[in-house]
Amino acid sequence: MLIRRPPDIKPSEITPRGHYLQRRQFMAGAAALGLGTAMATLCGRAAQAAPLQATKSPLSTTDEPVTPLKDITSYNNYYEFGTDKDDPLKNAHTLTIKPWKVKVDGLVGKPADYDLDDLIKPSALEERIYRMRCVEGWSMVIPWVGVPLAGLLQRLEPQASAKYVAFETLVRPAEMPGQRGLFQPLPWPYVEGLRLDEAMHPLTILAVGLYGETLPNQNGAPVRLVVPWKYGFKGIKSIVRIRLTDTQPPTTWNKANAHEYGFYSNVNPAVDHPRWSQATERRIGEGSGLFAKRRPTLLFNGYAEQVASLYNGLDLKANF
């Protein structure tokens, strides 16, 4: 069984909260010396980060050590802030995340432009420790804080004809340097989508925090999608629109290169990326370069017991 209840977590497997709180205290001291802004940028922590109250979810994956906060917040794919892994850390502090509205439209009974604080209720927050896997071959174990997407969608009253959920991210070139310039790495806005049954699955969440605090800008603040059995690029960041539709929505990487990136994007070690194998992965924080450890990639990222039934009868190689 891959999922255990949080009380089973070994203390040695979790980064102590005191370690990263000490880091925040150090930053406060630096501010007194006039260095606070520089240190906040270097440490990759947005000034608005604050503790979140969340219940511990029994759906957490607790059989592996959690990736250290410094790695989660400094090694990212977020092309709106640059294509190098450390670009989001260096550049995302420019993003203004308050106030934040999310447009909900399409085949729903309650379409509106919602304030994020009204859309995601603090009382519904849960902490979920999920194994996350990138198509490039690296992985992390991240303690997210968020809400089940199913509950939110139910409040919005999907119409009977709705079959898919489409997501759209922010376009704000003045604050997102990756969206400026003549040559763009991707078409904007970044868009993603799920089948409605995938979106309603208990493992699917909208995250607003990690490690017990509000989500750092470089990790997709103020709200992002987390679908742990799919590759990381499905986890659209800084969401500004949620639309329900009866047709399969376009997705950014599939539009950019359909031969390499399918709509489903389920973690499947039997389906190689055209330019590399997906059979193994490197866990961030367990060495680098020639000395990086490799581990076998698990079907559905280790969540097959929970999600395989969603794809009964579907050819997972043709529908990658």
What does the pLDDT average to over 199-210?
98
pLDDT at 48: 59
pLDDT surpasses 90 at 136: yes
What does the pLDDT average to over 134-147?
97
Q: How far apart are CA 89 and CA 190, in angstroms?
A: 19
3-state secondary structure string across the chain: CCCCCHHHCCHHHCCCHHHHHHHHHHHHHHHHCCCHHHHHHHHCCCCCCCECCCEECCCCCCCCCCCCHHHHCCCCCCHHHCCCCCHHHHHHHHCCCCCCEEEEEECECCCEEEEHHHHCCHHHCEEEEEEEECCCCEEEEEEEEEEEHHHHHHHHCECCCCCEEEEEECCCCCCCHHHCCCCCCCCCCCEEEEEHHHHCCCCCEEEEEECCEECCHHHCCCCEEECCCEEHHHCCCCEEEEEEECCCCCCHHHHHCCCCCCCCCECCCCCCECCECCCEEEECCCCCHHHCCCEECCHHHHCHHHHHHHHCCCCCCCCC
> Percent of the chain, pLDDT > 90?
80
**pLDDT class for 290, splitting at 50, 70, 90?**
low
Residue 45 CA, chain-centre distance (Å), reads 17
pLDDT surpasses 50 at 131: yes
Give 68's Cβ-side CA count (13 Å radius). Answer: 11
pLDDT at 83: 97
Of 13, 15, 134, whose CA–CA distance to 63 is shortest? 13
What does the pLDDT average to over 249-266?
97
Q: How far apart are CA 32 and CA 243, in angstroms?
A: 46
Q: Which domains does the chain have, with CATH numbers?
A: 6-311 (3.90.420.10)
Whole-model pTM: value is 0.86
Tens of pLDDT, residue by residue over 211-240, are 999 999 999 999 999 999 999 999 999 999
At a CB cut-off of 8 Å and minimum separation 6, what does 37 contact?
31
Average pLDDT, the chain: 88
Tens of pLDDT, residue by residue over 28-85, are 443 333 333 343 444 444 445 789 999 999 999 999 999 999 999 999 999 999 999 9
Residue type, 53: Q
Tens of pLDDT, residue by residue over 69-81, are 999 999 999 999 9
